[in-house]
Amino acid sequence: MSFAITILGSSGALPQHGRYTSAQWLEIEGTHMLIDCGEAAQMQIKRYDLSLSKIDYIFISHLHGDHYLGLPGVLFTLHLLKRTKPLHIFGLQGLDEIITIQLKYSKSHLNYPLFFHTLNPEKTTDLILDEDKFTVTSFPLNHKIPTCGFLFKEKIKPYRIDKDKLNKEVSLQAIAQFRQGNDFMLEGGKILAYQDYTLPPKRSRNYAYCSDTAYHLPIVETIKEVDLLYHEATFINEDLDKAIETKHSTALQAAEIAKKANVKKLLLGHFSARYKDLQVIEAEAKTIYPHSALAIDGETFTIEE
C-alpha cells in the first residue's frame, strides 16, 4: 500500500527560481493529507495531477505566511467543487481566526463542515490524530514563533496469512483471529496456533516533517530511526550567521540532526532565495550524512514496506 510524499513547494519565504513556498502532499494507504500550504499549493496540486477533493486532513506547522497563505484558496476551491465531506485542519492558535474572518467579510458559508484543532507547541509530543492505520504526533520546533513538527507513523500491521498452510480446519473466523495474532479454538477443543498459519506483518513506516527551526537537539529522540526525515535547510554553513539570526538551519545542521537520529533518509528543503543552484546545499549535507536528498518541487518520495 502507498506511503508517498509529493513536494509541492520547497522554497523559503519567497517563491524563487521555479520553486514555490512550503507545501507537501502525503498519502498513507488511501488517506490524503496536506502538510503546510504555501500560496501556490492548489496550483501545484493541479500541476502534479493530484486531486484536491481527496484531502482528508491539513496540517499547518506555524503562522508565517509562506506556510499557510495558500489555505484560504484551497478552502474556497473545495467549496466551489461542492465538497460536503468534513475537513479537519490542525494548526497553531489563531489559524481559526485568520480563516473565519475571511469567511465573515466575504459573506461565505462553506458547503462542508470545517473543524479546527489547535496544536500545543509546549508539549514534547502530542498525539493529535489516531486513525485506523496510522497516527500523527506533533512536537515543538525552535523558531521565531510557535512552530510544530509532525510525525506520521503507521500502526502495527496485521499478520499475513500463509496460504500454503491453510486447510479445511481453518475457517474465515480463524483467519480473522490469526491476522490479529490470536490462536483459534475449534469446537472439539483443538487449538490452532496463529504462528503455524501466518507470516510476519509487513513493516510499519514513518515520516517526520520538521519545518522552520533552528538547530534543535530535543527533536532527536522523537524522530529517531524514521524512514524519511524532512528537515529545513534554509542556508549553507557559510551563512550560519543568517541561520542564527532568523532561527533557521543550515544544511550541515540538518544533516547532523539526521545522523544523531539515525534516520534512513534525509530530505532537505525550505531553501533561501539566495541559492539558485541547490547542489551546494545537498553537497554540504552529504559531507556528514550521505543519505541526503533535495526536496525538489514535483518530486515524489515513496517509502516502501
β-bridge mates for residue 31, sequence order: 28
β-bridge mates for residue 259, sequence order: none
Which residue in 49, 56, 66, 196 is the catalytic one?
66
Q: Which residues contact 148 (CB under 8 A, 6 or more apart)?
A: 61, 62, 92, 119, 121, 138, 139, 140, 141
What does the DSSP assignment read for 9-54? E-BSSS-BTTB-BSEEEEEETTEEEEEEE-TTHHHHHHHTT--GGG
Give the per-residue pLDDT at 248: 98
- The single residue listed with the C-alpha cell 509541492 is 8
Instruction: Show the domains of the chain with their CATH numbers.
Output: 3-157+202-302 (3.60.15.10), 160-198 (no CATH)
Does 66 qualify as catalytic in the annotation? yes
For residue range 127-154, what is the model confidence (pLDDT) as tens digits?
999 999 999 999 999 999 999 999 999 9
User: What gap in Å lies between CA 132 and CA 2, rounded to an integer?
Assistant: 15
Q: Which helix (H) or strand (E) holds 87?
A: strand 87-91
Sheet order of strands, 292-294 included: 126-130, 134-140, 148-154, 206-210, 228-232, 266-269, 292-294
Give the per-residue pLDDT at 166: 87
Q: How far is CA 292 from CA 212, 225, 263, 268, in A?
A: 18, 14, 10, 7
β-bridge mates for residue 6, sequence order: 25, 300
- Helix 95-105 vs helix 71-80: crossing angle, to nearest 10: 50
Decide: 243 and 54 in contact? Cβ < 8 Å. no
For residue range 214-272, what is the model confidence (pLDDT) as tens digits?
999 999 999 999 999 999 999 999 999 999 999 999 999 999 999 999 999 999 999 99
Tell whether pTM > 0.85.
yes
Which residue stretches of the chain have pLDDT < 70?
Answer: none
